[in-house]
Structure formats: structure tokens, C-alpha cells
Amino acid sequence: MVPRRTVLVTLAAAAAHSSFAQTPPGPAPGGEAGPDEQYMREISTIGALSLAVSRIAQEKAQTDDLKEFAQLEVAEQETLADVMKSMQSLGVTDGTVKPPSEAEVEQHLDRRGRETLEKMRATPAGAEFDREYLAAQATGHLELLRVQETYLNSGHGNRDFINVAKLARGMIKEHLQLLADIESGIEFGGETTGAAPGRDN
């Protein structure tokens, strides 16, 4: 598998130095979510689903590259969840990662996320599970890419979050390419998930 770089060190640095860490997000005037709050909410929702299904894939995935991807994604999303939690807390943050419990992960899921999670739980290990997991990851990363682009194009937002979004955008594109490479090496009875983008992205 192609090694994956990580943006989490930068996220942790942003959490440590950003004024956002001292001032938890709140609704903008008029009761609507501001761009920072909306950004955090969306990446938390998508990240929670990625973590939940990747934890399942660690046990069920049959393809070696997908199992490795799941292991890396779990570690990444657990760290990201811990960083995001610290960014909304006024308490002291140490150097240990505190993985969220299953209940904590699921409380961030929306209705579609809960439905996807239940579907993955019910799908037996095998080619069908691998196909569904690959498609879920590709779709989730495409959604994350959209979130980064929307935030970066908003013209507003926390400086550190903007820098994180810039780095995350490149990372997400790399992950999508990795998923496309994995898909190209898997035989699904002549079928593809149709979710992973091609090499021209």
C-alpha cells in the first residue's frame, strides 16, 4: 500500500495555538451556525462515520490493502476526534490520544450515517463487504473534499482552520487516489464501486 502522510500534526498545532481553542464556537448572530462551527460539525459527522465503519472493516475486510487502509483510518480518525474535542474545550490537553467510545462516535452520526453503519454491521465479511466499505470511504472522502472547498471559498473563518483546510484538501485528494488504486487491484466480478475517482483528479 502507498504510505499515507498525515495532517494531524498540523491539526494539533492549530488546536494548541489557535484563539479558537480558547473561544469555543457558538452560533453566529441570528442563531445561525458560523463558518467555523459549520466546518467542525460537518467534518465531525463525516469523520465519525469513517471511524465507525473502519473499526468494523478492521475485522471484516478481506482484502489486505483495505484492511490496512481501515487500520490507518481508525488511527487517523481517533486522533482527529480527540483533536476536535480539545479544540472545543478550555481544559489542558496532553500528548495522549483518547479514542472516542462507540457511543461517542455514534452521537455524531446523522440519519444517513446511522443507516450506513447498520448496513455495514449487517453485511457479512467477503467481497460484498469490501465493495461497500470501499464505496463508503470514497463517498465520505468526496464529501470531506466538498467541505474543505466550501470552507475555503467562504471568504471567512479562523486563520488556523483555513490553513488546516488547505492541507486537508491535499490529503483528501491523496486518499481518494489511494482508494482508486486499491479498487483497481480488486476483482469484484468485473464490477467496480463507481465511487473512487480516476487518476486525473
- CATH number for the domain spanning 178: value is 1.20.1260.10
Q: What is the pTM of this model?
A: 0.77
Identify the domain containing residue 80 by its residue range: 34-184
> Which H/E stretch holds residue 66?
helix 64-87
In a domain, 26, yes or no: no
Q: What is the end-to-end Cα distance of the chain in Å, rounded? A: 19
In a domain, 19, yes or no: no
* pLDDT block averages, 10 residues each, the chain of length 201: 46 42 45 78 94 96 94 90 76 80 94 96 95 95 95 85 89 91 76 46 42
In a domain, 195, yes or no: no
* Torsion angle (degrees, nearest 10) of CA 116, 121, 127, 133: 40
Task: State how many domains the chain has.
Answer: 1
In a domain, 118, yes or no: yes
pLDDT for 33 equals 65
Residue 29 φ then ψ, to 5°: -55, 135
Q: How far apart are CA 136 and CA 143, in angstroms?
A: 10
Write the single-letter amino acid at 99.
P
pLDDT for 200 equals 45
pLDDT for 187 equals 67
In a domain, 51, yes or no: yes
In a domain, 134, yes or no: yes
pLDDT for 181 equals 92
In a domain, 190, yes or no: no
The CB-based long-range contact list for 153-159 (8 Å cut-off, 24+ gap) reads 154/35, 156/34, 156/35, 157/35, 157/36, 157/39, 158/18, 158/19, 158/20, 158/36, 159/18
pLDDT for 195 equals 47
pLDDT for 160 equals 81
In a domain, 9, yes or no: no
